[in-house]
A and B are shown apart, each in its own frame.
Chain A
């Protein structure tokens, strides 16, 4: 199969996947308990007012008609009225999405930078002291609830670090945000040459990204360890050693590359997972991301926001995993789609 053909097929599949997801979440959202119109207008609103809002939202129509109306508007960029903010849900999501992507990317990047070496160390020193210490460290990160770690870090910074260094414990930036180009403060501040905003954005992202990365470090470390152990047994490693190639080169250039495919898979899955499940970290650190917005939408039965958030996360999952699949081809030439093995 040619590469482009494969890409085209995957893109079409993504469309159908998102369509299926939208049907599922659309109907699930509408059977959740609670009258969304009543919740939105407040308990004192009269029945006439509630009925008017139901009419405006189309809630009195049959479900399948509501769905078709929704899809037609979705394609035109109208993702429905949010009952919490009273504006197009798409704008709410676009406001929050860059914050979530930025946080998740930094957190995952940190998890890879820390988790992979831990996994390598553990794998290379299997059943030795280093292996046990590395695994204990990684599992500790997995065991602590994220919100608990977040609050602990805030208290630690306030009581210990704050005496020497003014370090922020909440929010996304401590100065005027940079001019919005991409919505990512780290990138926008560099593009606009706003060093103050860049440094402030870095300071603000450190704690939440570290908190969010802890569980991912453990997962990445475990998979890396398993991959390294598997590669270590292979003949080409024995040959490399016999040829006198330095140990570090063997591990990091040859073994790690071959062991990385399973790690890549988990990174892809973690990315989508973290974007939607970071709401505890977002709550503690007052990070204006999609996670908390989604939870609030659920609690207040903000129908369009619920569907919008799920579709957004679904799209992210699908595209991230497409990228992961394409990267497989880069890492392992044997599975490069559409090319003959020479």
Chain B
């Protein structure tokens, strides 16, 4: 029998040595010979930003989440734009529109476009594109199309001439102008050239397949590349109608980074120019201590509140709700939220149309006991449920705070953690909706209608936004009147009246007005937050000055 005395043959040993040598030489070659990134890339001004979730779509007719909306806002232009002025006020201003006026009955809006605005393929943006974009939005029926539900139908947008068009509304709708910040104009010619078979007759699929991977916009940036789940890269559109500043980013790299610790580490390393807003208050405090880092803080157009189910005992009892509102420790809750101011009613503080004279509760245990007694419930007699979203630690802490406050006056509390999907399910009926829930609610337009009619009119019940299940004919009537009023100032007064009546019914514990925070290196200039989701990520505003 031949016995092998070697573990490996000479040939095998030589092969292993060659592989190791190639690896070492390859590494040396890479670092020494090939050197750093080729110089052509150094002339670009690259801005790098983290996305906390994947970009689901870049189609302006479908985007609703923050990252998708960020992509859309930078590749397309809306008719109007939310702007924050130096004095802190926020207004909706004309953007693609040069001038506009509304008929006396509030049913027809006539608008004239700015001339000479180009799409990324060089085609001029005209009234045809606007009409097409609105019809497309309404026909597909996703994204922000709900803003015009019952107000406009496909075909209601009339093209008068090359730059003039009219919206013929089905009913007066005072928030209409504010909603047009979510109408992004697409290139009709480009889409018509790339139609696929679909459900929309001569319009096929309305270009949905094409816009999965391409853009058809006129915005400051074009889509350069998109590796789904990893990174989306935008490049500057040189012929953008607003022009460019000297140090504007020429490329924006948005990397999907899901873990907070990773975002912070990369930011400290300088690989990210900015963080996103979803870091914890404690992390922002830590970042503030780092030289060269600026943490921008401002009131957000978002409130945190705890809606109470007004159709389920015992929270169907107004005095019981008053007892809860007076028992809650608002000060501690605001501290937990990093020093956010207490909310005053359903509409965020900085919004034009926010009513300053609404009923605002403050902790008063004596009054809480008084109202509990007035409600007819005795201490120790009832236990209520409060639901929070398990992924949000702050909500859990606030639930614990509320539990201790309510137990002080003899109301028992069960704290239940649920997923977002489950809460949406529970909200669909008054029987399954919990007594209390923890809700963050952010404005989608700069108009109080979103947080009044959109939450408290009896026609909108059945979603998490209206989980209070309020049914009040007086409030309904005022909100309907407010929507139908053509005069904007008059309409705002009616919305303020509605807010006063809503807070008087105590449908929720209005806890705090959230603070919008974002951290950036000091070489990032020009950042501004108008308050509407993703509009602060309008990269055209930024300049990079002083970065090595």
A interface residues (Cβ-Cβ under 8 A, vs B): 32-35, 38-39, 41-49, 52-53, 84-87, 92, 95-96, 147, 151, 154-155, 158, 162, 169-172, 175, 177, 195-196, 199, 243-246, 248-249, 252-253, 283-286, 288, 292-293, 296, 299-301
Contact = CB atoms under 8 A, between A and B. Distances in A.
B141 A52 contact: yes
A9 to B, nearest CB: 38
Contact of A288 (B26, B230, B444, B454): B230
A284 B421 contact: no
Contact of B229 (A43, A96, A285): A96
B4 A249 contact: yes
Contact of A195 (B26, B145, B261): B26
Interface in B9-35: 26-27, 29-30, 34
Most buried by A among B6, B262, B428, B462: B262
B420 A299 contact: yes
B98 interface: no
Contacts of A162: 269
B261 A286 contact: no
A251 B429 CA distance: 68
B261 A284 contact: yes
22 contacts: A33-B425, A34-B420, A35-B428, A44-B147, A45-B142, A86-B59, A95-B229, A96-B229, A147-B259, A155-B265, A169-B265, A170-B262, A172-B230, A195-B30, A196-B30, A283-B259, A284-B261, A285-B262, A286-B258, A288-B230, A292-B229, A299-B420
Contacts of A301: 421
Contacts of A299: 419-421
Contacts of B34: 195-196
Contacts of B59: 86
B227 interface: yes
B465 interface: yes
B396 interface: no
Contacts of B375: none
Contact of A47 (B227, B257, B444, B462): B462
B459 to A, nearest CB: 10
A95 B462 CA distance: 37
Nearest to B30: A199
Given A34-B422, A39-B420, A199-B27, 8 more contacts: A35-B425, A39-B421, A49-B141, A92-B228, A195-B26, A195-B30, A248-B7, A249-B6
Given A85-B57, A249-B7, A44 B463 contact: yes
A281 to B, nearest CB: 10
Contacts of A52: 141
B229 A49 contact: no
A38 to B, nearest CB: 6
Given A49-B142, A52-B141, A286 B265 contact: no
B268 interface: yes
A293 B7 CA distance: 45
B146 interface: yes
B421 A43 contact: no
A84 B421 CA distance: 14
B149 interface: yes
Interface string B108-149: 000000000000000000000000000000000110011101
B268 A45 contact: no
A52 B6 CA distance: 73
A286 B26 contact: no
A181 B37 CA distance: 24
A158 B27 contact: no
Contacts of A85: 54, 56-57, 228
Nearest to A152: B261
Contacts of A87: 212
Interface in B22-71: 26-27, 29-30, 34, 37, 54, 56-57, 59, 62, 64
B65 to A, nearest CB: 8
A252 B230 CA distance: 42
B230 A171 contact: yes
A33 B421 contact: yes
A169 B422 contact: no
B5 interface: yes
A39 B258 contact: no
Contacts of B424: 34-35, 38-39, 43
A299 B422 CA distance: 9
Contact of B146 (A44, A95, A171): A44
A300 B258 CA distance: 16
Given A49-B149, A95-B229, A246-B7, A170 B422 contact: no
B287 interface: no
A103 to B, nearest CB: 13
Given A44-B444, A285-B262, A84 B56 contact: yes
B4 to A, nearest CB: 7
B255 A171 contact: yes
Most buried by A among B208, B231, B454: B231
Most buried by B among A42, A47, A155: A42
B3 A86 contact: no
B258 A283 contact: yes
A300 B29 CA distance: 47
A196 B444 CA distance: 44
Contacts of A41: 64, 142, 146
A99 to B, nearest CB: 8
Contacts of A288: 227-230, 256
B259 A151 contact: yes
Contacts of B37: 175
A62 to B, nearest CB: 21
Contacts of A35: 424-425, 428
Most buried by B among A44, A158, A252: A44
Interface string B186-198: 0000000000000
Contacts of A285: 262
Contacts of A243: 3
Nearest to A169: B265
B266 interface: yes
Contact of A42 (B4, B64, B230): B64
Nearest to A40: B142
Contacts of A84: 54, 56
A-B residue pairs, 7 tightest by C-beta: A34-B421, A288-B229, A288-B230, A42-B64, A46-B149, A33-B422, A283-B258
A44 B460 CA distance: 9
A86 B65 CA distance: 13
Nearest to B27: A199
Nearest to A41: B142
B24 to A, nearest CB: 12
A154 B26 CA distance: 25
Contact of B261 (A154, A171, A245, A249): A154
A151 B261 contact: yes
A154 B472 CA distance: 55
